[in-house]
Structure 1
Amino acid sequence: MIGLVLAMVWARRGQAVTLALLTLFGVAAAVAAPAYLRAADRAVAAGEVGTADPASRSLTLNARQHDHREGRSRPDVLAADVDLGKTGSSLLDLPGFDYTYAGEYPTLGIEPSELIRTRLVYRQDACAHLTMAAGRCLIGESDLVIGVATAQRLHLAPGDEIHLRFAFWNSKLRIFVPDGAPKRFLVSGVYRPTDPGEPYWGSHNYFGGDTGGRPGEPAFVTNASINAMDHGPIALSVDGTASPGALAVDKLPAVRAGLATLQQRVAGLGAGIDLDTDLPGMLARIDAGRDAAHRIVPVLAVCLVLLACLTIYLAVGYGTEGRRPELAVVALRGARWGQRWWLATGENLVAILAGALLGCVAGQLLVDAFAAWRFPGVGADPGLEALRWAPAAAVAALVTALLAERRQLGRPVAELLRRVPPAPRAATAIAAEAVVVLLAAVAVAQLAITDGGLTGIGTFATGLVLVAAALVAARLLLPWATVFARRQLRDGRLGAALAAFQISRRPGGARLFALLTAAVSVIAYASSAVDVGDRGRAVQSGVGVGAARVVSVGPVSRQGLLAAVRAADPSGSYAMAAVRLPAEKGRPGVLAVDSARAAAVADWGGFDPSKVATALRPAAGSPASVRGARLSFDITAEKLVAGKSLLVSAVLSPSAGPADETAELGELAPGRHKYVADLPACAAGCDLKAVNLAGRQGASGVTGVVTLHAVGATAADPESPAGLAAGDLATAARWRISDGGTLSAGAGGLRMEVTAIDGDSGGVFVQPADVPTPLPVAVAGPVVSSNVAGLDGRALPVAEVLRLPAIPGVGSPAVLADLEYADRFATDAAPSADPQVWLSPRAPAGILERLRSAGLVVTRDTRAAQVRAGLDRQGPALALWFYALVAVLAAALAAGALVLAAGVDRSRRIEDLSALRAQGLPRVAVLRATLWTYPVLVGAAVVAGTAIALLGWRLTGWALPLAGLDPPAFPLPGLPRPLSLIGTALLTFVLLSGVAVLAGRRTLRGIR
């Protein structure tokens, strides 16, 4: 019997090979999904590690030792005094990490100001990571190396002798105070950091912005120098940096265990030591990326397995249909029931088993090849775990084959001998399809109830929706083929009529159309997911970053930032100053930019920004400008409350920056007096931003009347410009005052009445009313408040003048304002919280040098392209590559089904059309009847399948976590682009129609 079955397989080897290939595709999909997930897990971990900052790939143990000099020890300050040089090695035992010991403290001696300290640092093996621009690196106990910028600024060179003293920061005096005997050092070399961003430097920000608005350049010394110098408290640290491969996905459990142990040990040592690391955050991102991939991949993997089962059902049904006379002969010869089943099913079972075995190998090999292409250097990590779904897929294929053969095996011999098979019972078919539709509805409902939980039956939601809709489409659309055929026959178009009758009257026609429609819907759904995910990552990396490049700079005033950027880019075509304030609870984020440049520099995500500048920067008055290195404030104070001092200060913004100035004029005395402030930065000109009237800390009920008569340079100033005279101050409408005071004006100047201020409130602020009030802003999202947090932290009144879908770099809800106007509202002299320079793709290669030449200290350079590369290496993006594989396999299944259907029908079609040809059917009609049948079916399936894919996407696509690990506050695309769907549909139609035409040509050659 086995030999007979094998002979049957050989006699119909074409059909057997086709069925084996279809089974191979289904089992390969079941194997490829877990195999791909294993490869994706490795790629996700490698991607997160490769794009993480040094703090995320390292850890730092910090300890601050007390001042151990005689009479200086303060054991009550800290609970413990840990010497990391002795205890660090016993704490740090994470596998695969390299450790670096360091110590540092501040010193004075070479900088011209006590506001600027020299950071004296010992770092283990520092010379291996420094490039000497002059001289040599460290050897002896008196050697010291300094940075290039420090050497140029202080005119130091190798061989020079310097003396340094330990210092500490005095918070009351706001200066560094020397506290130790001086130590002689020899400048042995001048260095440049070989790579300031390499993980070796840890998170100490050695080369970021430093005090005095200068780039960070520590003075490096040996460990002997650090210990030999007379010093007070010292900051010690041990940095652990992950070596290559230490954070591979298979080593993460050991890293997690070691990190947990380290955290417990550090907690046991008390407050004298702390652990600083972003490593748990990176491990969490790896887990989140893997979880997203494990949610996305099975969705279409299930679709593909269901599609493979549908294809096998069709293939076996078609094959059994063609063998009806053979089955009738077996039944007539009295074969027992078991023999009939074996002879009927054995041929298909052999092909299915062979295809299942080959599918196990093919699925893993496919993933191996794909991983080698898309994840070079990561590997696919093949293993037996990838085969865990293969038995289920093989069993599903076998059960499907038996169900497809059940109908023919149960038919009487008379029915099997009929040339035209009886029509299937519609009620049974409709009931089966209704069950599938019901399951799809239940799956979608669960998806909605669980808020997109792709678990349980929710994983099957997409596949059930696509298959159910394809079955319904076949049920509704295929009867129209008969109507079309009759009309064509009535009109004398024999070729089209015969092609349509072939589709509508063949028992397997409806199943073939449902299969093709389901395959097209899977392909279109995969295309939709890839398109939406790709565009979402483009939004996150473009509008999310804000511009092609965002350069963060060191502390600088807002006006200084504007002046520096305008000097670096006089044309205003590629650089823009920006200050970004983070969103607070209950308040939107605020972005202030040089709005005249916003349209040319920022990434607006397709929105037309041409109205931004005119909306945010309407006409405004001139600022209140003064000039002089020594300024005099002519003030009269009246009605002061005895015992309650009224203090006055002024905030001025130098036109050239880099920092605003605060003139502390002191306590007001009754009567008219002149209060003088030395402000060298205003020698070239300053804008008066605010006059502050305040009480002392803790005071309340402070009142008084203050008249500002004039502001200008003293007579001793050789320039002696006019400044602000009484005429400039006599118009109260040119000024505004905050709560707690009122304004009036007269011939003598600006009269400010303080009605009630609290010493803890910051007092009353008087400012020039030189910009519109409230400030015009552009708004994105639900911003309902009439004020937002200003650049100085105080409430800023705003008025919406423009509505945007999202604010670049901030998202939604958010507010966009003009930086210069917003700064004129600010009452502080503090530097910007987060000063940035946004650059467009047109920025020249040397733009960073231009910014440095303009006085800015570059601390970080973020590129949208780098962010996009990082997003492309996260779990959601990597998982979508599997959808491309699914689309290819779905197209192969559809093509195989077409080839099988044409092969089974070929002999019958040749016989029928040859007979009609002998009776005079024109050759053209035969050509059309042969070549048009399946391409027309494919065209209808492509249209229906694309529509079903859109329906499936609306019902289930929202649940796919395509937005990345931390979905941003940006309006991300939710639907695929029409051009993407149309392109996918056309490509699918061309491919499947080509297969159908080739199959039809083979049939045509057999017609005589």
Structure 2
Amino acid sequence: MISLVLAMVWNRRGQAVTLALLAMLAVASAVAAPAYLIAAERAVAEGQIATATPSELSLAARRTTDVQEDPSAGIKFPDVGRVLLLGLNGFTFYHSAEVPTVGLEKVDFFPTRLVFRQEICAHVRILTGRCLAGEGDVLLGERTAERLELRAGDTITLTAARMNGLARPPTYEPDGAPKRLTVAGTYRAIDTGEAYWGLHGYFVSVPGFEVGPGEPVFTNAGTLDAMNRTITAMAIDGIAQPGTLDADRLDVLRADMDRLRATSEELEESLQFDSGIPRLLDRIDEGQSGARLLVPVLSVPLVLLACFTIYLVVGYGAEGRQSELAVVALRGSRWWTRWWLATGESLVAVLAGAVAGCLAGQLLVNAAAALLYPGVGSAPALSSLRYAPLAAAAALLAAVAAQRRQLVSPVAKLLRRTPAADRRWLTVTEAVLAALAVAAGVQYYLSDQALTGVGLFAPALIVLALALLSARLLLPLVNRYAVRALGRGRLGIALAGLQLSRRPGGGRLFALLVASVAVAGYAACTVDTAARGRDVEARVGTGADQVLTVQAVSRQQLLAAVRAVDPDGDFAMAAVRIPAGAGAPPGIAVDSRALPAVAAWPEGTGGRDGLRELLHPVPPEPLTFTGPEIVLEVATTSKGLLRLAVSVAAPTGPAGEVVDLGDLRPGTHTYRASTPVCDGGCRLQGIKIAGVGTSTDVTGEVMIRALNTATPAPLTDPRRWRGNPHASLSATGDGLRAEVAVSGAVADTAWVQPAGTPLPLPIGYAGAPPASGTIADSGPAAIPVTPVAGLPVVPGLGRNAVLVDLEYADAVSIEPKLAPEPQVWLSAEAPADIVDRLSEQGLTVVSETAAGQVKAGLDRQGPAVALWFHVIAAILAGLLGAGALGLTVAVDRTRRTEDLAALRVQGLRPRPAGLATLWTYPVLVVIATAVGLLVAVAAWRLTGWGLPLAGVDPPDLPLPGWPRPSALLAAAGAVLAVQFLVAILSGRNLRRRIESR
């Protein structure tokens, strides 16, 4: 019997090979999913490690000692730190110690950092002199040495310092004996961002003081040990060596981190352990979790589609061999003989294909991983084969189920060329599948939960159910059309239509082709939607194509510098972040004239060109002083002592200043003061009237009669001024009257400002306008605002933020200060030397964020990596459909040849016969492709929203929910091209067979 089955296989070896290939694809699909998931997890880990920050590649054990608490403490790294890090392999350790000192700088608001760091000379470039040699040697930063006019060989004196927290602002005061030191040389850090520097922030500058960038004074351990110290911060930094953070060592590394943290908590309180590695590991875990959700979304329908394909083609083959099986049944063979002869041919082919599929699936993933993630590898494992037996069993079961009728049907039914029509609306299988699909689709459409667990089967159930339903609905329509064509004498179309609608299994073939296109279309939906979403996250989430964060400067200086570089606002825009306040979301103040050209907006955002006019309707009208002297003539009557000050800001200065004019005296007096801020001219921000030295209320009238501004101040027009709640303004015959009620508290200060801009300030908002009607400012008072434009998103912030004009925000600020996070946003048209141009204008770039770099990082996160499997699934789905179509046509070829040849003998003309042979299956493919697209769109509408496509910790942005039509059409077109080619070639072969008879 075995030899007979093998002979049958050999006799129909073409069909057997095709069936084996389909079975191979089925098992390969089941193997490819877990194998690809292993490769994806490795790619996610390697991608996150490659883009990790230095803080995420290092760890530190720290201990701080105070000489007052431990007079005997020296610069000796505690054994407890070594015990903590003992047994931690793969790290290079560096010791460091730091003492705050004074004596080098003239200001005492911050200390000079005197630092010992192991192997310092290997990580700095010695510009003059030599590196550290003996006790008393120090290295100065190049800019510090240049500013203080110090050279190698000079001596300096440093004294350990302690912070005086009672001073406002806090100061550092000497506490110990001075130490005379020799400048051994000057240095420049080779790379301030390398992991060697750890988490210490050595090169962070001090904003607002002319001391240059942060440059610690480096020395050796002997020097620190020999001087009188106050507080000494000691640390052991561990820097991960190449290969330490590896996809194969993540579990070991996490166990090490947990052990270190637990050990440090058990040891003395003064020892602290810190590391960014756990954050990196958590991000890797989140990315891998996303991949584990996305890969099964299409692996499940792919395997089901493969089993459906086997069921279809085996059923077609069994129908083609019904006459053989009828002879076997007629001879009275026993049931097992009949069963073996009926199924053996298909089972042998399916089993051979299943064995090959185990290898093919892994090889496919290996090739994909080598192409997509060079150097990462797919790490073949036996776990990749865990679903292969299930897939093989499902394929064998599908092969047996497809032949169930031939196994149990009587001889008379087996001898019929055309089986009785199935008049059931739905089979039991189709009914169950439809019920499950409806339940899953409705549940996830109405709920607000992502596709997880059993819900991952929802796309597969919906696709298959809609494919079967479309076949049930469409083929009767084709039959009606064919009958009408026959009545009208259009024989070619009639024969083609009848072949599709009345041929046993025609509906299943149509459903299969629809499902293959739908799987490919669904894959296109996920891939394209996710890619567009990552682009929005990168560009809109960053705010522009490139964002430069600069060293802290005033808003005026930022505006002036950026406008000097880009006068027309074509590629650069000044921007300052606004923190969230009580009842107000975060926001950003921008130079709105450059907003349309520079800021990144989501697709379809209209009206952005008109934002300039809405946010900045009229230019500010400032009152300016032309020189350093400020003169006010003021008349005062009050119950209590008042003090007068003026807030001014220079257009290009580092910061503004509140100039104190002294106590107000009863009567009319002239008050004068000079400030270097106004040497080149400055703007009047406001006039400050405060109580002095008491918390009790002080009331009175202050009449401002004269100001030495460049243009006469409109003091007699109170509409040109505005006061805060502590100042009520009115006009007098020769000036401006302010009725004040103040106290010594900062919050109870009266301010009088020129009304040079609209107030409340116009703002654009995303989400809801500020409930408080204000936004935060640099001073104690908030800025009142009024919403003028609703936005889908504020670039750089998200769907709950505000947007305001920077020039307006600066003009209404009472106490100008340094901008907390000044930025320069750049478009793609920004010149390559933009950083140098900004430096020439006094801006120092401290960090850069490019949308392209963010996009590259997102492309290496879990969802983006996992979605490449959807591309593989789309290709396999198209091949399954093409293979099923080819095998179906091959099985059907003999019977159709006989039928059409007989019709030719009866007088059928060549043209109708050619139409019936050549265009039957191509038309079927075209219709199936169109319906498959609709099925893909429906499945995406019901389930696509639940897929985690946005990546790890996505920003609150309006991410696209639909793919581009071009992406869908491209995927469907690719499947159509392959299947249409198979259909055309098969039709030509059939036509040649008929003509040869």
The interval holding the TM-score normalised by the smaller chain is over 0.9
CA contact (8 A) 2:778 2:813 kept: yes
Q: How does 1:163-562 map to 2 (within 5 A)?
A: 163-171=157-165, 172=167, 174=169, 175-211=171-207, 212=209, 214-269=212-267, 271-426=269-424, 429-447=426-444, 451-562=448-559
Which residue is equivalent to 1:774? 760
CA contact (8 A) 1:143 1:188 kept: yes
- Secondary structure of the residue that 1:761 maps to in structure 2? helix
Identify if the C-alpha distance between structure 1 residues 740 and 176 changes in structure 2 by more than 3 Å, giving closer, same or farther.
same
- Secondary structure of the residue that 1:742 maps to in structure 2? strand
CA contact (8 A) 1:588 1:788 kept: no
129-138 vs 23-32, which deviates more? 129-138
Identify if the C-alpha distance between structure 1 residues 921 and 209 changes in structure 2 by more than 3 Å, giving closer, same or farther.
farther
- Secondary structure of the residue that 2:871 maps to in structure 1? helix
- Secondary structure of the residue that 2:787 maps to in structure 1? strand
Within 2, Cα distance between the matches of 1:799 and 1:277? Answer: 45
Which residue is equivalent to 1:717? none
Deviations 1:782-835 (A, max 9, x none): 225262323326332222222222111011121111001011222223211211
- Secondary structure of the residue that 2:158 maps to in structure 1? strand
647, 653, 661: which one pairs with 2:649? 653
TM-score (norm 1): 0.94
Which residue is equivalent to 2:775? 789
70, 77, 88: which one pairs with 2:81? 88
Stretches of structure 1 that go unaligned for 5 or more consecutive residues are 713-721
Letter of the structure 2 residue corresponding to residue 371 of structure 1: A
Which residue is equivalent to 2:830? 843
Identify if the C-alpha distance between structure 1 residues 192 and 241 changes in structure 2 by more than 3 Å, giving closer, same or farther.
same
Which residue is equivalent to 1:638? 637
397-406 vs 213-222, which deviates more? 213-222
- Secondary structure of the residue that 1:967 maps to in structure 2? coil
749-758 vs 523-532, which deviates more? 749-758
105, 115, 122: which one pairs with 1:128? 122
Within 2, Cα distance between the matches of 1:762 and 1:56? Answer: 46
1:943 aligns with 2:937: no
CA contact (8 A) 1:578 1:836 kept: yes
TM-score (norm 2): 0.95
892-901 vs 83-92, which deviates more? 83-92
1:5 aligns with 2:1: no
976, 995, 1002: which one pairs with 2:963? 976
Identify if the C-alpha distance between structure 1 residues 263 and 710 changes in structure 2 by more than 3 Å, giving closer, same or farther.
farther
Identical-residue share of aligned pairs (%): 49
Deviations 1:929-977 (A, max 9, x none): 2221111111111111100111100100011000111121111100111
700-709 vs 681-690, which deviates more? 700-709
Deviations 1:957-1001 (A, max 9, x none): 011000111121111100111222222222222221012112222
Identify if the C-alpha distance between structure 1 residues 28 and 697 changes in structure 2 by more than 3 Å, giving closer, same or farther.
farther
Identify if the C-alpha distance between structure 1 residues 666 and 11 changes in structure 2 by more than 3 Å, giving closer, same or farther.
farther
CA contact (8 A) 1:317 1:404 kept: yes
Stretches of structure 2 that go unaligned for 5 or more consecutive residues are none
- Secondary structure of the residue that 2:811 maps to in structure 1? helix
Within 1, Cα distance between the matches of 2:884 and 2:762? Answer: 64
1:145 aligns with 2:139: yes
895, 915, 922: which one pairs with 2:909? 922
Deviations 1:685-710 (A, max 9, x none): 11121223334687143323223333
897, 912, 922: which one pairs with 1:910? 897
799, 804, 813: which one pairs with 1:812? 799
Within 1, Cα distance between the matches of 2:818 and 2:868? Answer: 46
- Secondary structure of the residue that 1:833 maps to in structure 2? coil
968, 990, 994: which one pairs with 2:977? 990
- Secondary structure of the residue that 1:564 maps to in structure 2? helix
Within 2, Cα distance between the matches of 1:904 and 1:256? Answer: 58
Q: Cα distance, 1:20 vs. partner?
A: 1.2
Identify if the C-alpha distance between structure 1 residues 450 and 393 changes in structure 2 by more than 3 Å, giving closer, same or farther.
farther
Identify if the C-alpha distance between structure 1 residues 724 and 118 changes in structure 2 by more than 3 Å, giving closer, same or farther.
farther
Q: How does 1:627-776 map to 2 (within 5 A)?
A: 627-641=626-640, 645-695=641-691, 699-712=695-708, 727-755=713-741, 759=745, 761-776=747-762
Q: Cα distance, 1:603 vs. partner?
A: 1.1
Identify if the C-alpha distance between structure 1 residues 132 and 569 changes in structure 2 by more than 3 Å, giving closer, same or farther.
farther
Which residue is equivalent to 1:103? 97
CA contact (8 A) 2:642 2:691 kept: yes
Identify if the C-alpha distance between structure 1 residues 764 and 56 changes in structure 2 by more than 3 Å, giving closer, same or farther.
farther
Q: Cα distance, 1:163 vs. partner?
A: 3.5
Q: Cα distance, 1:483 vs. partner?
A: 1.7
587, 592, 604: which one pairs with 2:584? 587
Letter of the structure 1 residue corresponding to residue 789 of structure 2: L
Q: Cα distance, 1:173 vs. partner?
A: 5.4
Letter of the structure 1 residue corresponding to residue 55 of structure 2: A
Deviations 1:169-226 (A, max 9, x none): 4451544434444434443333332222222222222233335263222222222233
Which residue is equivalent to 2:16? 16
Which residue is equivalent to 1:718? none
Within 1, Cα distance between the matches of 2:774 and 2:401? Answer: 67
Q: How does 1:873-912 map to 2 (within 5 A)?
A: 873-912=860-899
CA contact (8 A) 2:691 2:742 kept: no
Q: Cα distance, 1:745 vs. partner?
A: 2.6
CA contact (8 A) 2:550 2:823 kept: yes
Q: Cα distance, 1:155 vs. partner?
A: 3.6
Q: Cα distance, 1:445 vs. partner?
A: 4.2
- Secondary structure of the residue that 2:188 maps to in structure 1? strand
Q: Cα distance, 1:123 vs. partner?
A: 1.6
Within 1, Cα distance between the matches of 2:581 and 2:896? Answer: 74
584, 600, 605: which one pairs with 1:603? 600
Letter of the structure 1 residue corresponding to residue 723 of structure 2: I
840-849 vs 217-226, which deviates more? 217-226
Provide the alpha-carbon RMSD of the alignment.
2.4
Within 1, Cα distance between the matches of 2:572 and 2:922? Answer: 56
Q: Cα distance, 1:6 vs. partner?
A: 1.4
Within 2, Cα distance between the matches of 1:336 and 1:879? Answer: 51
868-877 vs 478-487, which deviates more? 478-487
Q: Cα distance, 1:112 vs. partner?
A: 4.6
1:28 aligns with 2:28: yes
Deviations 1:874-898 (A, max 9, x none): 0011111110000010011001011
86-95 vs 695-704, which deviates more? 695-704
